Amino acid sequence: MTTEARTVVLASPRSFCAGVERAIEIVELALERFGAPIYVRKQIVHNTHVVARLEGEGAIFVDDLDAVPDGACVVFSAHGVAPSVRAEAESRGLDVIDATCPLVAKVHTEARRFAERGDTILLIGHSGHEEVEGTMGEAAGIRLVESLADVDSLTVEDPSKVAYLTQTTLSVDETAEIIAALRRRFPKLRGPGGDDICYATSNRQEAIVEVAREADLVLVVGSRNSSNSRRLTEVAATAGTPAHLIEDAGQIRTEWLTGARVIGLSAGASAPPHLVEAVIAHLRGFGPVTVTERHTVEENVTFSLPLVVRQPLGVLLAPFLERLRLGVDELADGGTGQQLRQERRRTGQVEGQLDDRGAVRAGFGDVVGAQPQPAGIACLPGEGLALLHLGDGPDPVALLGLDHLGGVADPQTVLMGGFHGRHGRRPLRPVLQVGDRPPDQVDRRLDGESDVVKHGDSSRSSVITIIRPQSLGRFSGI
Q: Which of 165, 162, 152, 271 is nearest to 219 (CA)?
A: 271
> Burial, 374: exposed, middle or buried (Cβ in 10 Å; 0-12, 13-18, 19+)?
buried
Determine, yes or no, domain membership for 83.
yes
Same domain, 323 and 445: yes
Tell me phi and psi for residue 107, to 5 degrees: -65, -40
Chosen domain end from 68, 101, 134: 101
If asked whether residues 367 and 264 sit together in one domain, one would say no
Confirm whether 131 is a catalytic residue. yes
Q: Are 93 and 112 part of one and the same domain?
A: no
Residue type, 421: G
Per the annotation, binding residues for [4Fe-4S] cluster are 17, 101, 198
Per the domain annotation, does 437 fall within a domain?
A: yes
Q: Are 58 and 38 in contact (CB under 8 A)?
A: yes
CATH number of 129's domain: 3.40.1010.20
- Collapsed DSSP state (helix, strand, coil) of residue 312: coil
pLDDT of residue 311: 53
What pLDDT shows up at residue 310? 63
Phi, psi of 266 (to 5 degrees): -145, 180
Task: Give dist(CA 451, CA 407) in Å, integer.
Answer: 18
Tell me what pLDDT residue 4 has. Answer: 83
383 belongs to a structural domain = yes
In a domain, 302, yes or no: no
Domain match, 393 and 457 both: yes
CA distances from 406 to 402, 472, 477 (A): 6, 10, 11
Same domain? For 320 and 463 the reply is yes
| Residue 369 φ/ψ, nearest 5 degrees | 80, 170
User: Of 393, 388, 400, 390, which Cα lies nearest the Cα of 331?
Assistant: 400
Backbone angles phi, psi at 309, to 5 degrees: -110, -5
pLDDT at 93: 82
pLDDT per residue as tens digits for the range 116-126: 999 999 999 99
Q: Is the same domain home to 463 and 330?
A: yes
- Among candidate residues 188, 133, 182, the one with its CA nearest the CA of residue 159: 188
Instruction: Give the residue from 62, 86, 101 where a domain finishes.
Output: 101
Instruction: Answer yes or no: is 340 within a domain.
Output: yes
Structural domain total, the chain:
4
Kindly report the CATH number assigned to the domain that includes residue 56.
3.40.50.11270
Instruction: Indicate if 403 and 330 belong to the same structural domain.
Output: yes
Residues of the chain with pLDDT under 50: 312-478
Asked if residue 421 belongs to a domain, the reply is: yes
- Residue 135 belongs to a domain: yes
Q: Are residues 319 and 290 in the same domain?
A: no
Q: Which of 163, 190, 175 is nearest to 126 (CA)?
A: 175
Considering the domain architecture, whether residues 319 and 208 belong to the same structural domain is answered as: no
pLDDT at 304: 81
Q: Which residues span the domain enclosing 59?
A: 18-101
**Cα–Cα dist 314/4, whole Å:** 60
Residues 288, 333 within the same domain: no
Residue that finishes a domain, picked among 101, 128, 149: 101
Q: What is the pLDDT of residue 2?
A: 55
Do 90 and 119 sit in the same domain of this protein? no
Q: What does the DSSP 8-state code read for residue 15?
A: S
Q: 403 in a domain, yes or no?
A: yes
Q: Which of 130, 131, 343, 383 is catalytic?
A: 131
Global pTM reads: 0.68
The answer on 445 and 319 residing in a single domain is: yes
pLDDT given for residue 258 in this prediction: 94
